[in-house]
């Protein structure tokens, strides 16, 4: 019994220690260890709402996809892409999944009940999160971050006017590096390793308890910490102040420009950076940990500001104009006989057309003949009588020879319409053909020479009878 109780005691005491040592100590490690990752890469949207759900059949789901957006879910990752300005998007995600958002042109991003690690870029819209297991915030936009509870490591690197507020933080490490006017406020909690580097007018406030704190300001921004239990290292080289309400007394404070100073416990202060006894170095550009890990504030800010000035998507370019129609066969043969040099158009909207030249006289003549024949065919009933009258007045002999031929052209009926399946159309076609023949016969009679002679003789008879 004693052996069993001893084994249970060891399990109960060692298991929490092993679990604590296995927890990720950096946001990058927490993001890599997440069971699932949602990537938000939408170029434009109104409100993006990510809601955690425990009873999902799959890791991520989006029931309604607005026009312009695209959602794809795989075994390990899901992606939200596209542009839908003015449209809302709602995504259901499994609890504990990671969210990596590179989108910055949205109105608001809400994350509820997911409780996973976050990698966010601060854009023009506000971000609201209830709980996160890790946080990597970077950017330079005016949007504000509001986080309820932080239970893991965090890095905040910003350079814009947007503020970041965290209600409670229980984290192994929190690193804050800002160069802009935006403030970073943590209202309470406990942090094992707190590092703050300010090189702008923004303030950093932590109203909780830090085990160890490394605080540095090289601008007008102020740093305020409620309590430090262990080592504290503070250096202010500008007008910004550093205030610790309940200091531990184990550490050094330097104010003003320090050329080169070494403390009793090994901390070294230079005008460029502050180096601690354990090898940690911090300045306005980066933080270097004893194990060689580098947190580059400048790189994080640049990555966050790459998409700050995201404008609304431009409309697509107009389609290319259609190609000009192929020239007639006569023109083709004429150009084949007289090849010409092809010139590249100077504008994409300039057609490759050439003006007719002297070498195209043959094609122009044939075209005029074809147009004349077409006009005569369409207006034969009006033109042929005038042609006959003109020939009779100038060339009577020629008129007598060609008159029958011209009259036959007037009475010629066009080819019948193609057959169709409707009986009504067939009947109408036949009646129109008969009517066309009658009209042609009447026109032939009225416009013929005999009709005119008969009319003249009748008028003479009437005059004689009247006399």
Residue 357, pLDDT above cutoff 50: no
DSSP 58: S
d(CA 158, CA 181): 9
Weakest-pLDDT range from 185-189, 214-218, 407-411: 407-411
Same domain, 247 and 379: no
- Please enumerate in sequence order all residues whose Cβ is within 8 A of that of 387, keeping only pairs 6 or more positions apart, or say none: 406
What range does the domain containing 233 cover? 24-305
**When comparing pLDDT for 391 and 106, which is higher?**
106
CATH label of the domain that carries residue 39: 2.160.20
- Please enumerate in sequence order all residues whose Cβ is within 8 A of that of 258, keeping only pairs 6 or more positions apart, or say none: 235, 237, 269, 270, 271
pLDDT, mean of residues 152-156: 96
Contact 98, 120 (CB under 8 A): no
Weakest-pLDDT range from 61-65, 147-151, 152-156, 285-289: 285-289
Q: Which of 94, 87, 79 is nearest to 41 (CA)?
A: 79
What is the pLDDT, as a whole number, of residue 327? 53
What is the pLDDT, as a whole number, of residue 347? 40
Q: Considering the domain boundaries, does residue 1 fall inside one?
A: no
- Please enumerate in sequence order all residues whose Cβ is within 8 A of that of 386, keeping only pairs 6 or more positions apart, or say none: none
pLDDT, mean of residues 393-403: 78
- Please enumerate in sequence order all residues whose Cβ is within 8 A of that of 272, keeping only pairs 6 or more positions apart, or say none: 283
**When comparing pLDDT for 357 and 272, which is higher?**
272
Residue 344, pLDDT above cutoff 70: no
d(CA 220, CA 201): 5
Contact 118, 98 (CB under 8 A): yes
Strand-strand pairing, 250-255 and 231-236: parallel
Q: Considering the domain boundaries, does residue 325 fall inside one?
A: no
pLDDT, mean of residues 99-113: 94
Examine the fold and report which residue of 268, 286, 305 is the final residue of a domain before the chain moves on.
305
d(CA 181, CA 203): 8
Alpha helices in 379-448 (DSSP H): 380-394, 396-411, 423-447
d(CA 204, CA 182): 9
Strand-strand pairing, 281-282 and 286-288: antiparallel
Residue 202, pLDDT above cutoff 90: yes
Locate 158 and state its tokens. Answer: 């910003």
d(CA 52, CA 184): 27
Residues of the chain with pLDDT > 90: what percent?
41
Q: Considering the domain boundaries, does residue 15 fall inside one?
A: no
Same domain, 376 and 252: no
Task: Compute CA 435 distance to the chain's CA centroid, rounded to the nearest angstrom.
Answer: 65
Residue 394's pLDDT band (boundaries 50, 70, 90)? confident
Same domain, 288 and 393: no
Q: Considering the domain boundaries, does residue 55 fall inside one?
A: yes
Classify 76 as helix, strand or coil. Answer: coil
Residue 210, pLDDT above cutoff 90: yes
What is the pLDDT, as a whole number, of residue 256? 58
Residue 450 β-bridge partners: none
Q: Considering the domain boundaries, does residue 395 fall inside one?
A: yes
Task: Compute CA 409 distance to the chain's CA centroid, rounded to the nearest angstrom.
Answer: 67
Average pLDDT of the chain?
77
Examine the fold and report which residue of 280, 305, 330 is the final residue of a domain before the chain moves on.
305
What is the pLDDT, as a whole number, of residue 392? 78
What is the pLDDT, as a whole number, of residue 457? 77
Model confidence over 30-43: pLDDT tens digits?
999 999 999 999 98
Residue 54, pLDDT above cutoff 50: yes
Model confidence over 278-295: pLDDT tens digits?
677 777 777 787 777 788
What is the pLDDT, as a whole number, of residue 336? 40
Model confidence over 422-453: pLDDT tens digits?
566 667 777 777 777 777 777 666 666 676 77
Same domain, 294 and 428: no
- Please enumerate in sequence order all residues whose Cβ is within 8 A of that of 55, keeping only pairs 6 or more positions apart, or say none: none
Q: Considering the domain boundaries, does residue 390 fall inside one?
A: yes
For the chain, how many structural domains are there in total?
Answer: 2
Classify 72 as helix, strand or coil. Answer: strand
Residue 302's pLDDT band (boundaries 50, 70, 90)? low
Q: Which of 300, 68, 113 is nearest to 197 (CA)?
A: 300
Same domain, 258 and 376: no
Residue 352, pLDDT above cutoff 60: no
Residue with tokens 């890790």: 134
Same domain, 290 and 409: no
Contact 59, 80 (CB under 8 A): no
Q: Considering the domain boundaries, does residue 182 fall inside one?
A: yes
Rg of the chain (C-alpha set): 46
391-395 long-range contacts, CB within 8 A, separation 24+: 392/449
Same domain, 117 and 225: yes
Residue 242 β-bridge partners: 223
Q: Which of 127, 70, 75, 82 is nearest to 97 (CA)?
A: 75
Residue 236 β-bridge partners: 217, 255
Question: C-alpha distances in angstroms, 293 versus 25, 100, 287, 338?
Answer: 12, 22, 8, 76
Residue 419, pLDDT above cutoff 90: no
Locate 147 and state its tokens. Answer: 């986080």
pLDDT, mean of residues 314-329: 50
Q: Considering the domain boundaries, does residue 354 fall inside one?
A: no
Residue 146 β-bridge partners: 128, 165
Same domain, 277 and 424: no
Residue 223, pLDDT above cutoff 50: yes
Same domain, 167 and 51: yes
DSSP 444: H
Contact 131, 314 (CB under 8 A): no
Residue 331's pLDDT band (boundaries 50, 70, 90)? very low
Same domain, 296 and 375: no
Examine the fold and report which residue of 305, 323, 343 is the final residue of a domain before the chain moves on.
305
Residue 120, pLDDT above cutoff 80: yes
Classify 353 as helix, strand or coil. Answer: coil
Same domain, 379 and 291: no
Same domain, 275 and 384: no
């Amino acid at each position: 019994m004693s052996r069993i109780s001893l084994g249970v005691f060891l399990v109960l005491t060692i298991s929490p220690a092993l679990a604590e040592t296995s927890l990720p100590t950096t946001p990058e490690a927490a993001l890599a260890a997440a069971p699932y990752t949602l990537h938000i890469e939408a170029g434009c949207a109104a409100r993006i709402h990510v809601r955690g759900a425990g009873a999902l059949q799959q890791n991520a789901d989006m029931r309604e996809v607005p026009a312009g957006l695209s959602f794809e879910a795989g075994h390990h990752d899901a992606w939200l892409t596209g542009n839908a300005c003015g449209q809302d998007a709602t995504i259901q995600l499994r609890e504990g999944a990671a969210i990596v958002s590179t989108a910055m042109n949205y109105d608001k991003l809400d994350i509820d009940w997911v409780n996973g690690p976050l990698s966010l870029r601060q854009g023009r819209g506000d971000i609201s999160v209830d709980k996160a297991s890790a946080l990597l915030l970077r950017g330079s936009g005016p949007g504000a971050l509001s986080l309820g509870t932080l239970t893991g490591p965090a890095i905040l690197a910003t350079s814009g006017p947007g503020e970041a507020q965290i209600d409670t933080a229980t984290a192994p490490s929190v690193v804050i590096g800002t160069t802009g006017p935006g403030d970073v406020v943590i209202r309470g909690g406990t942090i094992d390793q707190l590092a703050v580097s300010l090189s702008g007018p923004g303030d950093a406030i932590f109203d909780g308890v830090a085990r160890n704190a490394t605080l540095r300001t090289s601008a007008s921004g102020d740093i305020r910490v409620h309590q430090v239990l262990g080592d504290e290292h503070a250096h202010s080289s500008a007008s910004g102040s550093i205030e610790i309400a309940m200091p531990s007394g184990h550490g050094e404070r330097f104010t003003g420009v320090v050329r080169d100073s070494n403390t009793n416990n090994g901390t070294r202060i230079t005008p460029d950076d502050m180096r601690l006894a354990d090898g940690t170095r911090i300045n306005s550009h980066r933080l270097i940990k004893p194990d060689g890990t580098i947190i580059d504030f400048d790189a994080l800010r640049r990555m966050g500001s790459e998409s700050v000035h995201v404008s609304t998507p431009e409309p697509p370019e107009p389609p290319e104009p259609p190609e000009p129609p192929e020239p007639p066969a006569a023109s083709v043969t004429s150009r084949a006989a007289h090849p010409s040099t092809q010139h590249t158009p100077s504008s994409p909207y300039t057609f490759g057309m050439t003006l007719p030249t002297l070498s195209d006289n043959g094609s122009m003549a044939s075209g005029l003949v074809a147009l004349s024949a077409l006009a005569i065919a369409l207006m034969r009933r009006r033109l042929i009588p005038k042609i006959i009258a003109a020939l009779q007045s100038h060339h009577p002999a020629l008129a007598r020879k060609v008159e029958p031929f011209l009259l036959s052209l007037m009475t010629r009926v066009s080819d019948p319409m193609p057959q169709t399946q409707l009986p009504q159309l067939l009947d109408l076609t036949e009646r129109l053909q008969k009517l066309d023949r009658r009209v042609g016969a009447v026109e032939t009679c009225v416009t013929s020479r005999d009709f005119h002679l008969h009319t003249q003789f009748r008028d003479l008879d009437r005059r004689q009878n009247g006399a």
